[in-house]
């Protein structure tokens, strides 16, 4: 079996939830088809540069990684022209001839059985790809991209931002729905997104979750809470800024020694939080598992976005007690014991409760880990992949 995977950024190093989902997918593919020949082409940009040394040793001889470097820097003139033409500037930045040439060479190098799009943005090449290969085309949807911008538009207070986010949502929606129609199948990694595609009339979509491995549970650090995310993704930035202004000050009134630990790439986007002595900024951390395991309760104050929240699943896989927003839990049939918060008062109540009830915190952590074991095992995911691809 010959497989080609296209992604708009390198999966390694794992700097965000999207990279984590990409990493788990190649591992599950190899579990499903250990003898498959897999080529992986990723676009390298100034925001997401490729680093060959970051590829895990166990994958280097099993997957042929390729990269092509382009610039996706903002061009105000081009952005304005796309705005006037009512087209997506976000997508156009990823469509360049040098990338198409590389894709063409890889496709013509050997007959393909399956071609996976690991993001909507690589879908910019769908029309050209259809002309040069009969491979089964599958879009692995990490989210419904246009819904992210739609929600950001709803949440925006600035009228200009509200209008512009709505424009981004509308132009992306047109392309996204057209792109999906040109694929043979869709792998949705989030149940809610799977329902969206299915309810929209698509009969060629499957829910294929991201697999998760579990680790031994550590003792929860007292008087400490944490969050981890990439802050060039607006829902992460929006959520943590909301939490630090609308929730954390009230938590400090109840627990003056409480520490909030924040880690993740592009933390310069939230650099103003360094001014608070009760907030510790860790920047990019090499091991998300170590960070989450060693900094107390995990909070997920996500207010917008689409797709499954990878860091929530990762925290639960480690047995770390999680407190999540209603939006962060979208599509997840979580155990009743895991706190789901609908507003700032809910977060204040639930975080305060778990900070002072160690037994309940442990129970929540254990429930989360059991949820992962039963719903996100590699064996379960691999079986779903095999079953779905065998029907294509």
State the pTM of this model: 0.84
pLDDT of residue 135: 97
- Exposure string over 241-255, b if 16+ CB within 10 A, otherwise e: bbbbeebbeebeeee
Task: Please indicate whether the domains covering 2-211+377-389 and 224-375 agree at the CATH topology level.
Answer: yes
- State in words which class domain 2-211+377-389 has: alpha beta
Residues of the chain with pLDDT under 70: 80-81, 84-85, 89, 201, 305-308
pLDDT of residue 228: 93
**Alpha-carbon gap, residue 190 to 238, rounded angstroms:** 21
pLDDT of residue 84: 67
Domain borders along the chain are: 2-211+377-389, 224-375
Which residues, 6 or more positions from 109, have their beta carbon under 8 angstroms from its beta carbon? 39
Quick one: which of 257, 377, 271 has its CA closest to 317?
A: 377
pLDDT of residue 306: 62
pLDDT of residue 377: 93
pLDDT of residue 80: 67
pLDDT digits over 165-216, tens only? Answer: 888 889 889 989 999 999 999 999 988 889 888 887 677 999 999 999 998 8
Residue the block writes with tokens 């609308």: 246
pLDDT of residue 247: 97
- State in words which class domain 224-375 has: alpha beta
């Amino acid at each position: 079996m010959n497989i080609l995977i296209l992604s708009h950024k390198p999966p390694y190093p794992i700097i965000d939830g999207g990279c984590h989902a990409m990493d788990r997918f190649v591992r599950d593919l190899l579990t499903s088809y250990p003898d498959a020949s897999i080529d992986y082409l990723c676009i390298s940009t100034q925001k997401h540069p490729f680093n060959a040394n970051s590829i895990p040793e166990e994958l280097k001889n099993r997957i042929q990684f390729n990269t092509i470097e382009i610039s996706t820097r903002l061009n105000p003139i081009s952005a304005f022209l796309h705005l006037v033409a009512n087209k997506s500037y976000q997508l156009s930045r990823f469509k360049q001839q040098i990338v198409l040439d590389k894709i063409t060479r890889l496709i013509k190098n050997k007959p393909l059985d399956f071609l996976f799009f690991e993001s909507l943005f690589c879908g910019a090449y769908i029309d050209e790809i259809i002309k040069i290969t009969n491979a089964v085309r599958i879009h692995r949807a990490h989210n419904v991209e246009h819904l992210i911008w739609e929600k950001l538009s709803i949440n925006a207070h600035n009228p200009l931002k509200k209008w512009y986010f709505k424009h981004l949502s509308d132009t992306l929606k047109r392309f996204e729905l057209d792109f999906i129609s040109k694929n043979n199948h869709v792998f949705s990694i989030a149940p809610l997104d799977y329902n969206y595609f299915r309810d929209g009339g698509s009969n060629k979509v499957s829910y294929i979750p991201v697999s998760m491995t579990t680790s031994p549970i550590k003792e929860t650090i007292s008087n400490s809470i944490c969050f981890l995310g990439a802050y060039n993704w607006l829902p992460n930035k929006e959520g943590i800024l909301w939490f630090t202004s609308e929730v954390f000050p009230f938590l400090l009134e109840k627990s003056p020694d409480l520490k909030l630990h924040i880690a993740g790439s592009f933390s310069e986007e939230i650099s103003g939080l360094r001014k608070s002595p009760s907030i510790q900024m860790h920047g990019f951390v090499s091991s998300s598992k170590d960070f989450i395991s060693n900094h107390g309760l995990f909070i997920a104050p996500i207010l917008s976005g689409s797709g499954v929240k990878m860091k929530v699943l990762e925290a639960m896989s480690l047995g770390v007690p999680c407190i999540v927003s209603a939006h962060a839990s979208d599509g997840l049939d979580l155990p009743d014991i895991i706190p789901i918060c609908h507003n700032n008062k809910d977060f204040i109540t639930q975080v305060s409760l778990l900070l002072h009830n160690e037994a309940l915190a442990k129970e929540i952590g254990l429930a989360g880990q059991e949820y992962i074991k039963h719903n996100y095992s590699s064996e379960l995911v691999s079986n779903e992949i095999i079953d779905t691809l065998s029907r294509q």
